[in-house]
Structures are given as C-alpha cells and as structure tokens.
Chain A
C-alpha cells in the first residue's frame, strides 16, 4: 500500500501536534514505568501503539481469527479476509 501525499502530511502533522501538546502539558517527572519520564514518550507510545495494533490484529486475523463463513449460518460473510476496509 502506498501512502498518498495528503495522508502522509496528516500523519506528520498529527505527530507534531501530539509532540507539541505533550511538551506543553505533560509532567514527565512522574515515573509510571520504564521510559515514561522520557520527553515525547507518550507521542511515541501513541504512534507505535497505533502501528502495533494494526500489524498484530491483521496478523492474528489472517493467521487464525477471521473466518470465510458465518459461524452461525454457514453462509459466506460479505468480505474476504483483507477487505476489512483499512487496506
């Protein structure tokens, strides 16, 4: 999948806004767990979390979670695996 230009700009702008908000608003002195006192930790957490959730969910979906047939009716479900709308 290739990123179109507007999407790439939106991602960069979103990250920049998150980083600005975190710099201005978050108190990094409070230690919750390893790394949480680092500057821009939460911006990175959010971004890596987003990517991680998509990657892990897609992998699990294709590996064993998704079914071609409705488990209750036995009929074919509307979408093929991979047609979940976010590819």
Chain B
C-alpha cells in the first residue's frame, strides 16, 4: 500500500459507484473508498514513499508523499468521507461518482510528483466538479456549470501552456519551486484561477450556490485547497501573494455584506479564508507554510460544516435567500446548533479549529514585521464573524418566527455528517497538537 497512489482507490471507487445499481451498496462504496484512503495514510503511507516509472522517455512520479502532501491528503479523505455521509440521501449515480472522482483527482494532484501527472488530475478535477454544478437542480445550475467549466478549462490551458513552456526551456518535469519566468507566471495564473485569487475569482461565487446541497459540500473542500497546495509547492515566498491574499481576505468579507443567497455568502467567505492561506504561502517561511496548511485543513472541515448547515436549511425549506428564510431555528435546532460550531470555528473563536490555524498565519506575518497585513487580516476576521456568525444564522434561523415557511425533516445522515465535522472543529481547537503534528515543518507554532 505504500506505493499505491490514493487516487487509484478513489477512482476505482468512483467506477464502482457508477456501475452499482441504486441502494445502500452504492452509498457505502462512496464512504468506504475515502475511508480506505484515510487508513492508507494513517497506516501505510509515510513521508518519502514514492512511485516512479518511465513513460515515453518521461520520468513520471504519480506518488510523492511528504509531510505537505500527507496533511492535505488527510483532510481531503476526511472531507470525502463527510461528504459521502452527508450525501447519503442522494439517489443520483453520476453525481455520486463525480463527487468521488473529484475528491480522488484532488488527491491525485496533491500526491503528484511530476508536472504531467499534476496537469492530468487538474483537468479531471475540473470536469468532475463541473458536473456537480451542472447537476445542481436549480434553474441556474446548467448555465453556471458551463461557465464554471469554461473558466477551469482556461485555467487548465494556462497551466498546461506554462508546463510546456517550462519543459521547452529545459526545465525539469519535477513539481518543485518555479522561477519568475513566462512559464512560471503562466503556471501561477492557472493555480490562481483555482485558488479564486481576486480578480480571477468570479467563477466561485457564481457556481457554488448553484450546485446541489451535497455537491456544494464537496465543491467547498477541494478546488481552492488543491490550488493552495500547488501554490505552496510551486510559489512559496512570492511576495505578490501576500498582497493578493490580503485583498482576497477583505474582498470576500465586503461582498458578503451585500449577499442575500446563503450559500453565495459562504462562497464569498471561501475567497476570504483562502486569502489567509495565499498570504501565508506568500510569506513563505516555515511557520507561514505551516499556517497555510493548517488553515487549509481546518477550513475544509468548518467550511464543509457551514455548507452542510446552509444546505440542510435549503433542503428542508426549498428557500435559499436570507430574505425568504428566517425564524425556523426552533424547528431545526440541531442543524442551527451544529452550524454555529462551524461559525465559531471560521470566526477563530478560542477552542475552535479556526483559532489554532488562523493564528499561525497571523503569527508568521507578525514575525516578518508585516504589520499592515496583520491589521487587515484581523479586520477580515472581524467581518467573517459578522456575516457567518451573526448575519447568516440570524436571518436564517434566529430571526422572528415565520410560520409561512414549511420545514421538512432533515435526513439523519446530514445530521451525522454535521456532527462529525463539528466534533473535529472542536477537537482540533481543544487539542491543536493533533493538527500541528501533521504539519510540514517542525517549527514550534509559538515561542
């Protein structure tokens, strides 16, 4: 198992899901495949493990395990498990298979040791995730899915062009740090589109709210965080990323003030939170890269939880805007309570996961005397609590009671997934060493 790329397990799982008739077996496969990956990461795969072979005179490395790839591998496997449980109510074979292929190809990216493997799984990720938007079932889903695919094909083309330019200029096929050449900027552009770096971000807030309630949980986890991983691997220490990251952190917050669609509001906050990670990558020190990886880990789980909560409200009421919701908290007490755990986590309340990860990025900025960035990132954090912790829950659940809103029963599987995600948010916050031990560098988080 120590030379088997995790993506293989996930793609075999996706194939089985696609071939299995409706029923418990298919749903079980969707949960078991990422569970096997999690077991592989915990028991069999170690930093330094690798799989290399030669194909058409090219030295390919579809598996390169190190601490950076392993920490992302862990959280992607966890996200796929939680998503599989949350989507248990779903009877859509292609959407289930696409979700598994999407999660799998994200694992393919983070364990890719060469640029050809990276590009291959980057494109598979785009296709599989586009289907999740396409199959959302809302009036705007089809068109948003097509727009999403166009944008990601442009991003993938920029990445491929950059890789080919890099190889043509005598560069290595190994996926390592890039230089500030034309090839490097093209590759950076490809990564920046997937990371939703402003001004290349519009696809995210356009598409994520149009996916189905389960699809958006998967979407919130993988695309932007694989891009953060790729930036950390290829562009650590590029100072332009500090500026872009801070802009992202504030931009998402400002647009969230104006947003009415509950999942679009959360989508803007993905841009904001990924901004912290991009800034961490731009700072580029060991603490900053630890911070970016830790925040990606925490973010995948709490943002998944927030999308699960918002999705449960949409599933139960058929409504998706703040102005059409409100006052249903007494009929969705468990969902509202579990959502609030995610809200406290993203707002970096002490004893919740966001606190222990966001602090690392801020601490790294302080250590580098980037006080302007520290102040603006703190400001973005204030805005995050304002919208995710106050505005969304107040207007969705805690406002004046609305008896005109019919509230259907929330499937138990959704509650189980939310409970597990909430437990992780609190667990990491209370015992951060569990996360810190996984981080790429041994640097102590604080002095």
> Which residues of A does B touch, CB under 8 Å?
32-33, 45-46, 49-50, 53-54, 56-58, 60-61, 65-66, 72-73, 78-79, 83-86
Q: Please pick, from A45, A50, A53, A73, the residue contacting B143 in the complex, using a CB distance under 8 A.
A: A73
Query: Cα distance A61–B257 when bound, in Å?
Result: 9
Q: Contact between B323 and A46 (Cβ–Cβ < 8 Å)? A: no
Q: Cβ of B433 < 8 Å from any Cβ of A?
A: no
- A sample of 17 cross-chain residue pairs with beta-carbon separation below 8 angstroms, ordered by A number, consists of A33-B371, A50-B383, A53-B386, A54-B386, A72-B143, A72-B144, A73-B140, A73-B143, A79-B260, A79-B321, A83-B323, A84-B257, A84-B260, A85-B321, A85-B322, A85-B395, A86-B322
Number of interface residues of B (CB under 8 A): 29
Instruction: Decide if B257 touches A58 in the complex (CB within 8 Å).
Output: yes
Residue ID in chain A nearest B147 by CB atoms = A72
Q: Whole-angstrom distance from the CB of A60 to the nearest CB of chain B?
A: 7
Query: What is the CB-to-nearest-CB distance from A68 to chain B, in angstroms, rounded to a whole number?
Result: 13
Q: How far is the CB of B146 from chain A (nearest CB, A)?
A: 10
- Complex Cα spacing A58 to B253, Å: 12
Query: CB within 8 A of B391: which of A46, A73, A83, A86?
Result: A86
- Between A and B, how many residue pairs show CB distances below 8 Å? 73
Interface bits B247-283 vs A (CB < 8 Å: 1, else 0): 0000001110111110000000000000000000000
A-side contacts of B321, CB under 8 Å: 78-79, 85
Question: Can you name the residue of chain A whose Cβ is closest to the Cβ of B386?
Answer: A50
B260 pairs with A54, CB closer than 8 A: no
A78 touches B253 (CB 8 A): no
Interface centre among A32, A53, A54 (most CB of B within 10 A): A53
- CB neighbours (8 Å) of B143 from chain A are 72-73
B47 interfacial contact with A, CB 8 Å: no
A60, B383: Cα distance in complex, Å: 16
Q: Which residue of A has the minimal Cβ distance to B384?
A: A53
4 A-B pairs with the lowest CB-CB distances in the bound complex, closest first: A85-B322, A57-B257, A49-B382, A61-B258
Contact partners of B255 in chain A: CB under 8 A: 57, 65
Which of chain B's residues has its CB closest to A7's CB?
Answer: B394
State the Cβ distance, A46 to closest chain B Cβ, in Å.
5
Contact B383 A53 (CB under 8 A): yes
Residues in chain A near residue B379, CB distance under 8 A: 45, 49, 53
| Alpha-carbon separation in the docked complex, A64 to B386 (Å) | 22
B378 and A84: CB pair below 8 A? Answer: no
Q: Distance (Å) between the CB of A49 and the closest chain B CB?
A: 4
Are A65 and B258 interface neighbours, CB within 8 A? yes
Given A72-B147, A73-B140, does the pair A84, B259 have CB atoms closer than 8 Å?
A: yes
Q: How far is the CA of A17 from the CA of B170 in the complex (A)?
A: 60
Which residues of B sit under 8 angstroms from A85, Cβ to Cβ? 260, 321-323, 391, 395
A9 to B372, CA, bound (A): 33
Which A residues touch B91, using CB under 8 A? none
**Contact present for A46 and B254 (CB under 8 Å):** no
Q: Which B residue's beta carbon lies closest to that of A58?
A: B257
**For residue B323, which residues in chain A have a CB less than 8 angstroms away from its CB?**
78-79, 83, 85
The answer to whether B374 touches A32 (Cβ under 8 A) is: yes
A44 to chain B, nearest CB (A): 11
Q: Chain B residues near A78 (CB, 8 Å)?
A: 260-261, 321, 323-324
In the complex, the answer to whether B253 meets A53 with C-beta atoms within 8 Å is yes
Contacts of A84 in B (CB 8 A): 257-260, 322
Q: Which residues of B contact A46 (CB under 8 A)?
A: 382
Complex Cα distance, B146 from A73, in Å, reads: 13
B310 to A: closest C-beta gap in Å:
13
Kindly supply a per-residue 1/0 record for chain B positions 312-351, scoring 1 wherever the CB is within 8 Å of any chain A CB and 0 otherwise: 0000000001111000000000000000000000000000
Q: How far is the CA of A86 from the CA of B383 in the complex (A)?
A: 13
Besides A45-B382, A56-B254, A85-B321, 15 more A-B contacts (Cβ < 8 Å) are A33-B371, A33-B375, A46-B382, A50-B382, A50-B386, A53-B254, A53-B379, A53-B383, A54-B257, A65-B255, A65-B258, A73-B140, A78-B260, A84-B258, A85-B322
Within the complex, what minimum Cβ distance (angstroms) separates A19 from chain B?
15
Q: A32-B374, A49-B379, A83-B323 are in contact. Are A66 and B386 (CB under 8 A)?
A: no
The residue on B at minimum CB distance from A65 is: B258
Cβ of A32: which chain B residues have Cβ within 8 Å of it?
366, 371, 374-375
Contact string against A for B residues 130-148, beta-carbon threshold 8 Å, 1 for contact and 0 otherwise: 0000000000100110010
